[in-house]
Amino acid sequence: DIGGGVVANFSEGTNNYYAKSISKRYFFILFHLLQPSILIWIFPNDIFPVTLTTIYTLTSSIIVLNVKDQYTQRITAVTLLISCLLLTPFLNYSDVLLQLTMFFYSIKLILAFSVDWTLIDEK
């Protein structure tokens, strides 16, 4: 779901579906507490890095959702995502694959889902 979601959340169909309802967007973001919960269950020694990355990602996603200007929204999302990607290695994940999964989780929610990717000329 995380890998496929990165691609799907950039799509016009996903963007158009969720553009109609801000409450659906918030529900989608909050629903994604489930994936880190499962990862913590599988990797209990990584509860700290997974939890911090999850909190940062969900908070960043909500911040990006609340930015109305499309250009500013994109810049905000990229800035928050780069910050996440730069800080995550300092969290000492015990498994590189888990760290990579959390990178994709952040890309999926902060950049792919939370940004309005409709063409600016279309508006």
How would residue 18 be classed by pLDDT, with cut points 50, 70 and 90? confident
Q: Are 9 and 108 in contact (CB under 8 A)?
A: yes
CA separation, residue 115 to residues 10, 13, 29, 33, 43 (Å): 9, 14, 12, 19, 30
Q: What is the share, in percent, of the chain residues with pLDDT greater than 70?
A: 96
pLDDT digits (tens, 9 = 90+) for 37-86: 999 999 999 999 999 999 999 999 999 999 999 999 999 999 999 999 99
What dihedral do alpha carbons 15, 17, 22, 28 form, nearest 10°? -80
Cβ atoms within 10 Å of 15's Cβ, excluding its own: 16
Tally of domains within the chain: 1
Structure tokens at 15: 């963007």
How much is the pLDDT for 48? 98
How would residue 119 be classed by pLDDT, with cut points 50, 70 and 90? low
pLDDT of 100 higher than 90:
yes
Query: Whole domain around residue 10: which residue ranges?
Result: 2-122
